[in-house]
Amino acid sequence: MLDLIRKKQKSVIVKFVFWAIIATFVGTIFLVWGKGRDGGDKNPTVAITVNGAEIGFPEFQNAYNNLYRLYQNIYRDQFTPALEKQLAIKKQARESLIEETLLLQEADKLGITISKKDLVDSIAQVPAFQDNGTFSKERYLQVLAYQRMTPEDFETLQKRQLLIAKAREHIEEGATVTDADIEKEYLDQNEKVNLDFIKFVPALFESKVAIDSDALAAYFTEHREEFRIPETIALQYLVFDPAKYLDEITFTDGDVEKYYNRHLDQFEIPEQVKIAHILIKIPDGASKEMQEKKTELANKILEEARAGKDFSALARRYSDDAKTAANGGELGYITRRASDNPFVNAAFALKPGELSEVVQTPLGLHIIKCEGHIEAGLKSPADAAAEVKAGLKEEKARQLAMEKAMDAYNINRKTGDLQAAAQANGLTVKETGFFSRQDDIEGLGQAPEISASAFILQAKELGRPVALPQGVILYAVKEKHETRLPELDEVRKKVEAAYRSAKSHELAKDAAEKALGEIKSGQSLAAVARKLGLRIEETGLFARSYGSFIPRIGDSTTLAQAAFTLTSNSPAAPEVYTVNDQFLVAALKNREDADPKSLTQTLRDSLRETLLARKRNQLLDDKLTTLREQADLYIAPALMED
C-alpha cells in the first residue's frame, strides 16, 4: 500500500535497502537519536525536552522528513500543501518523539534490559539482512554501508526499539477480555439506528447581524486579549550562497569514490518498460449495454493485434487517447510509479513484443504493448561521473559556505557587527520585515530553527548560522516589537468579523433551540424543517461501534450516545448538538436490533481478539497520557504553532 518497497530494484543492495528502513523500524517510524547533548553539538537550540532528555531540531527534522515521505508515498500526486496541513505532520512528528522518549524512560524505570542474544536474534530476523531466509553478515554490512550507518549505530538504534517494544509489552500485558465484554461488543456492532436531522448553519444568519458601534466596542473590551498583537522581530542577515564558492572547490579521486558510495540512491536506475497503448473510454454513468459494447470493441482490437495487425495503426484508428493516438499509442518508458496500479502491473508483467489482456482502469479499457525493458540497477561510477563530480562540488561548496559563515559568526560574535561580516566576505546585508514566531520569514520562508533562536536574542546579537535551501544564513535581530494589546481601530476589521460570527452563532443556536422545543411539544422534525425552509437529512443506519462518528454528521459523542436511547414514542434527541461549527436537531427514524442467535463461537473468538488488541492499545494510550501529564516537558515555540 505504501509503495515503499518495489520490485524495480534488482541489485542486492538496492533491492533490500528499503527493508532495512521499514521492516526494522515498522513499529516506530521516528527515532530518538540520543538523550542529552555533548559539547560538540553545533545546534544551539533544543526542539523538545522530556524530563531532561533533549531532542534537537535536527532530530525533529529527521522525524518530520520521515513522516513527510511516508505520506508522499501514500498519497503521491494528491499530497498537496493543504493535505499536509490537514494531516498536521509537524504535530505528529513532535508527539511521536515525545512518546518514544517517554517509553524509553519507562523502560529504564522498569529495569528492562536487552541481552546481547535478544539484540542478535532481532537483527538476524530482519529480511533485509537474510539470504534465502538465513542471516548473512555480508549482506548486513552491505545494507548498512548503503545507508551510511555503522553496525554500532544500527545496533544502538535497534536496541532502543527493542526497549520501547518491551516497555509497550509490559504496559499492555494487563489487558483481559470477559464474556460480558464480547456480548457488549456484539451488541455495539449489530444494534443500529438511523436518524433524521436538520442543520442550522451560522453563516446563513450573518445577514441578520447589525453592527452597532457601542455593542462592537463592548465586545472588543470583553475579548480584547484575543486580538493581542504578538511579539514580532525584524532581522538583518547575510546569505553565504554555496554557488559563490564553486570555483574554489577542489577534490581528489578518493573524494569522488566516497561521494559515489555515500549517495548510491541518487544513481539508482529504476526498472522501466517502454509501452504503447490503445484506450477505449467508457463514459461516466454509461449504461450496461454501452459498457458491453465497449468491451466487445476492446476484445476485437486485441484479437486483431494478436493476429498480426500493426499496433500503431490500430491505435491511430481506435484509441480515445488523443495525446498518444497520433503517435501510434506510444507512451515511452514508464516506471512503476507512473500510473495507476492495474495499468502498471499489467505493463510490467509483459516482455518486449507481448500484448496485455484488456485492462480496466477509471479511464476505461486499455490494450498495452511492451516495446522495451530496462532492468533496475545502479549507474556505474564511470556512467555517473559527471553527476558525482557535480554533486560533490555542490556538497563541498555548501560545507565551505558553512565554514565561512561560522568564521564570520565567531569573529563578530562579541560585537554583533553584521556589516563588518558582510564587508569581509563581499556580501550585502539583507533585511526582513517584522514577523511573529508562527510566520514565515520574509525572504527566507519557513525556518523554525531561526525563529526558535531569534526570539531569544537581543537586538544586534548574532544568531548561529543556519543552513537553508537558499544558502547558509548568518543573522542578527534588527528590532523587536513587544507583544501588546491593540486599540480597536487597529484591528477593527478582525473585530467586526469576530463579532458578526459570534452573533450569527447565537442566532443559529437560538433558532435550533426553538425548533427543538416545537419537536418536543409534538411536531414532527419534517414539519419543523418545512416551516423553516430547511432540508431534512438522514444519517443512514449506524452502530455503537462507530464510536463518536455519525455518518453524514461527523463526530459528536453526546449525540452518538443519545441516539441509542431514542424510541418511537420519544424520538427527539434531547438537546441541540454542535458539530463542525453548526447546530443540529435530530430525531430517531428507525432502529435495527441485534440478533443474539448470530453470536456464534467463531464470532466470539474473532471479537475476543479484536477487543484484546483494543484494550492493549487503550492501556498504552492511558499510560502515555499519565506519563505525559507527569513529565517535565518543554516544546520550542516554533513547534507549537498548531
Tens-digit pLDDT profile for residues 621-631: 999 999 999 99
Q: Tell me the per-residue pLDDT of 559-581, one tens digit each, with 9 for 90 and over.
A: 999 999 999 999 999 999 999 99
The C-alpha atoms of residue 633 and residue 629 are separated, in whole angstroms, by 9
pLDDT of residue 128: 78
d(Cα 642, Cα 639) in Å, to the nearest integer? 8
* pLDDT attached to residue 337: 67
DSSP assignments along 480-523, one per residue: EE--BPPPGGGGHHHHHHHHHHHHHHHHHHHHHHHHHHHHHTT-
Considering only CA atoms, which of 116, 101, 115 is closest in space to residue 164?
Answer: 101
- SS in 3 state form for 4-25? CCCCCCCCHHHHHHHHHHHCCC
Residue 438: its pLDDT value, please? 84
Three-state SS for 345? helix
Average pLDDT over residues 176-191: 92
Tens digits of per-residue pLDDT, 21-30? 333 333 333 3
Instruction: Decide if pLDDT at 8 tops 70.
Output: no
pLDDT digits (tens, 9 = 90+) for 305-353: 999 999 999 999 999 998 999 999 999 998 876 444 788 889 999 999 9
Cell of 152: 554500532
**Apex CA 423: angle with CA 419 and CA 424, to 5°?**
115
pLDDT > 80? residue 545: yes
> Within 13 Å of residue 228, how many CA atoms lie on the same side as its CB?
10
Residue whose cell numbers read 527493542: 162
Most confident of 70-74, 136-140, 181-185, 572-576: 572-576
pLDDT, residue 133, reads 80
* Spacing of C-alpha 11 from chain mean position: 30
CATH classification code of 12-174+633-639 = 1.10.4030.10
**pLDDT the model gives residue 3:** 34
Is residue 18 predicted with pLDDT exceeding 50?
A: no
In the prediction, which pLDDT does 641 show? Answer: 59
- Our separate counts of H helices and E strands in the chain read 21, 22
* Domain 272-374 fold: Chitinase A; domain 3 (3.10.50)
- Of residues 397 and 46, which shows the higher confidence score? 397
The rounded Cα 564 to chain-centroid distance in angstroms is: 35
Asked whether this chain's domains 232-252+389-481 and 272-374 adopt the same fold, the reply is yes
Mean residue pLDDT of the chain comes to 87
Question: What share of the chain in percent tops pLDDT 90?
Answer: 66
Question: 520 or 262: which carries more pLDDT confidence?
Answer: 520
Over range 389-395, report the average pLDDT.
Answer: 92
Average pLDDT of span 351-364: 92
What pLDDT, on a 0 to 100 scale, did the predictor assign at position 20? 34
Q: Where are the domains of the chain?
A: 12-174+633-639, 192-227+490-592, 232-252+389-481, 272-374
Average pLDDT over residues 503-516: 96
| pLDDT > 90? residue 191 | yes
Average pLDDT over residues 97-110: 94
Q: Note the pLDDT of residue 500.
A: 95
User: Which 3 state secondary structure label does DSSP give 274?
Assistant: strand
Percent of the chain scored above 70 by pLDDT?
A: 92
State the pLDDT confidence band at 144, using cuts at 50, 70 and 90.
Answer: confident
Residues 6+ apart with CB under 8 A from 50: 98, 101, 102, 105, 631, 632, 633
Condensed to tens digits (0 to 9), the pLDDT of residues 437-494 reads 888 999 998 888 898 889 989 888 899 999 998 999 999 999 999 999 999 999 999 9
The pLDDT score that the predictor gives to residue 642 is 53
- Class at the top of the CATH hierarchy for domain 232-252+389-481: alpha beta
Q: What is the number of alpha carbons within 13 Å of residue 495 lying toward its C-beta?
A: 25
